[in-house]
Amino acid sequence: MRVTSHLTSVSWIPSEAVKGYTKPAFTMGITHYDEPPPDTIEGLEALRAADAFRFAHRLEAWAEFDGGSPVDHGVGGGLIMGSTTVRLGPLGVTFAAFSLPELRPEPEIGDGWIRFSQTVGGRTAMPLPRRSSRPPYLRLQSPFVWTTLSLTLHADGRAEGQLTGASPFPRHWVYGADDALTMKAGLTDYKTWAGQEGAESTPWGDEDSPVLVTAAETALEREMSALIMRGGRKPVIRSLEAGAVLVRQGEPGSSLFLLLDGVLTVDVDGRALPELGPGAILGERAVLEGGLRTATLTASTPVRVAEASPDIIDAAALARLAQGHRREDSLA
């Protein structure tokens, strides 16, 4: 039996993700944040031509099984690197990207399965001045970016994909065999990424960076995210340290929240519910059900949220969102 599958990651710079002295370049329009990628990807080359991502990674694999054991296999795909454009008034300069060699270890083989792993990455040629702990204490090269994908093929036809490692920046989204968004990196860390000294702390040196993976939010939440961030009134951006409480169950509240970055734990009546990752819309049930928060939300990592007035979203849409958010009912 022949089993084939593929997995794709798309990496992009979301709004408000850049910190420090480089942020004015984004806010002044010299360079740009990226629009969120589509829910389903139909062509990576078209997205690259539209400057819609910083880099993409495609892992393709097949295996031939005989009696539950893989007897032949193959792997393909690789890096699709974007470019960076810097604009000063009507003028623009586009910096091509530098690609690193693909890392593709021998596949792991088990009872009725075979697992492929692949790491790709590189960096933009655009200079990024940053401090260094080594003489001359200044680096001009941009840090490396990468993702590590794994794909497990089973003798019964199943395929399982994972994002097993990634650079701390930018944002990484992962698309499954149907090319639909399925998971995403839960946290971006621009400061750690900008402090990268060289290849030593990357997969081309001696380590990968573990990645906190969360499930993709719903299509309705992605529609609402666009309204919150670009609906006319600019939301208030709040940052919380790990352990800080965003809202407490039973307290009054009327704001909506869009989780921009990080992971929140959810507690209802002392019971832990599934964690929430970037893209989740929060707070709608207090708006619809009497003005009291129905859960306690606590930052399990550093978190950034956009806080907005609920009247930016149609009440019927909020009701549909609330129905899907009754997590305590689904787990009862």
Most confident option among 43-47, 154-158, 212-216 = 154-158
Same domain? For 159 and 294 the reply is no
Quickly list H helices, 106-183.
none
Alpha-carbon distance 295 to 311, whole Å? 21
Query: Is 80 found in the same domain as 49?
Result: yes
Domain total for the chain?
A: 2
Domain boundary at 182, 213, 244, which?
213
* Integer angstrom CA distances of residue 225 from 182, 218, 289, 309: 17, 11, 21, 13
Residues 195 and 233 in one domain: no
* Domain with 300 in it: 219-330
Grade residue 330 by pLDDT with cuts at 50, 70 and 90. Answer: very low
Give yes or no for residue 163 having a pLDDT over 90.
yes
258 and 180 within one domain: no
Question: How does residue 184 score in pLDDT terms, banded at 50, 70 and 90?
Answer: very high
Same domain, 241 and 271: yes
CA-to-CA distance for 85 and 93, rounded, in angstroms?
6
Are residue 182 and residue 226 in the same domain, yes or no?
A: no
Lowest mean pLDDT among 23-37, 53-67, 99-113, 166-180: 23-37
Same domain, 33 and 157: yes
What integer pLDDT is reported at residue 55 of this predicted model? 92
pLDDT band at 328 (very low <50, low <70, confident <90, very high): very low
Burial class (CB in 10 A: 0-12, 13-18, 19+), 327: middle
Q: Let me know: does 129 contact 138? Beta carbons within 8 Å.
A: yes
Q: What is the CATH number of the domain that holds 264?
A: 2.60.120.10
Q: How far apart, in whole angstroms, are the C-alpha atoms of residue 293 and residue 31?
A: 39
pLDDT of residue 332: 40
pLDDT tens for 187-210 read 888 888 888 877 888 999 877 788
- Assess whether 184 and 271 both reside in one domain: no
The residues near 137 (Cβ < 8 Å, ≥ 6 apart) are: 131
Q: Which of 150, 180, 213 is the last residue of a domain?
A: 213
254: number of Cβ within 10 Å: 12
Categorize the per-residue pLDDT at 311 as very low, low, confident or very high, splitting at 50, 70 and 90. confident
Identify whether residues 292 and 206 lie together within a single domain.
no
CA distances from 154 to 26, 58, 63 (A): 45, 20, 9
Q: Are residues 178 and 38 in the same domain?
A: yes
The amino acid occupying position 131 is R
pLDDT at 198: 76
Q: Taking CA 310 as the corner, what is the angle to CA 304 and CA 311, rounded to the nearest 5 degrees?
A: 140
Q: What percentage of the chain exceeds 90 in pLDDT?
A: 52
Q: Are residues 231 and 190 in the same domain?
A: no
Dihedral of the alpha carbons of 221, 227, 230, 231, in degrees to the nearest 10: -170
Residues 96 and 78 grouped into a single domain:
yes
User: Where does a domain end: 213, 247, 279?
Assistant: 213
The reported pLDDT for the residue numbered 277 is 92
Query: What rounded mean pLDDT belongs to the chain?
Result: 86
Q: How far is CA 235 from CA 94, 256, 258, 287, in A?
A: 31, 10, 9, 17
Per-residue pLDDT reduced to its tens digit, 84-139: 666 655 655 666 678 899 999 999 999 999 999 999 999 876 656 666 666 665 66
More confident: 100 or 332? 100
Better-predicted residue by pLDDT, 153 or 16? 153
